[in-house]
Structure 1
Amino acid sequence: MNIIISNSSGKPIYEQITSQIQNMIISGQLMAGDALPSMRTLAKDLRISVITTKRAYNDLEQEGFIETITGKGSFVAARNTEVIREGNLRMA
């Protein structure tokens, strides 16, 4: 997963992560059922705090983009990917 963090952006890091993962799901780069990196792995790769990745994943889960299964990890949610794509087509 290729996430780019900009320190010069006025946007908080967790929001940058959230929006980039949302865009990957909407564009089809990430499909329903695809596993996301663990919070610790993503934090290590991006050299940020685990708390920051946890906040991003929590936001994504609350918005219905991902599902987190304790002991297994976080996965792209199946139920909302089609609804999200349809909503984007209507906006275009």
Structure 2
Amino acid sequence: MYAQIVEQVVAKVMSGAWQAGAPLPSIRELASDCQVSVITVKRAYLELERSGVIVTRHGKGSFVADALDATRGLATAEFDSLLQGLLDAAAKLGLNRDALLERVGDAFDASTSTDKGTPA
């Protein structure tokens, strides 16, 4: 559930719905709105802070990070979310580490070989 909160916050920041410096709902408020535990929201906020998407000021709350800091954080958060989705799908298919890495390598090679024909 915390991953969904992370994705939703990232989506709002990327879409521009939440601008740099905008306050986020308090942990308790968001937990109540989403009907999840405070611990779940706190974990999501910690993940967002580690990614550079938000900043937390003790006693004042959490805010959307400045655009320069958030850009890389947003990309990292999106990558991590997609990576977790890939791992979940691989587990459902029963793919082991080697099979997963082979498929990722093949997809990467196919992607980079098609990029070579594209002008820069």
Q: Report the counterpart of residue 42 of structure 1 in structure 2.
A: 30
The amino acid of 1:37's aligned partner reads: P
CA distance in 2, matches of 1:74, 1:26: 17
TM-score, structure 2 normalization:
0.57
Cα displacement (A) at 1:45: 1.2
The Cα RMSD (Å) is: 1.2
The amino acid of 1:17's aligned partner reads: I
2:61 is the counterpart of 1:73: yes
Residue number among 18, 38, 42 corresponding to 1:54 in the alignment: 42
TM-score, structure 1 normalization:
0.73
| Larger helix percent | 2
Post-superposition CA distance 1:33-58 (Å, at most 9, x none): 00000000100111110000000000
Unaligned runs of 5+ in 1: 1-12, 88-92
CA distance in 2, matches of 1:80, 1:29: 17
Q: List, as ranges, runs of 4+ consecutive aligned residues in structure 1 with deviation greater than 6 Å.
A: none
Q: Report the counterpart of residue 3 of structure 2 in structure 1.
A: 15
Cα displacement (A) at 1:80: 2.2
CA distance in 2, matches of 1:19, 1:55: 13
The amino acid of 1:58's aligned partner reads: L
Unaligned runs of 5+ in 2: 76-120
Q: Secondary structure at the match of 1:19?
A: helix
Relative contact order higher in (CA < 8 Å, ≥ 6 apart): 1
Larger Rg: 2
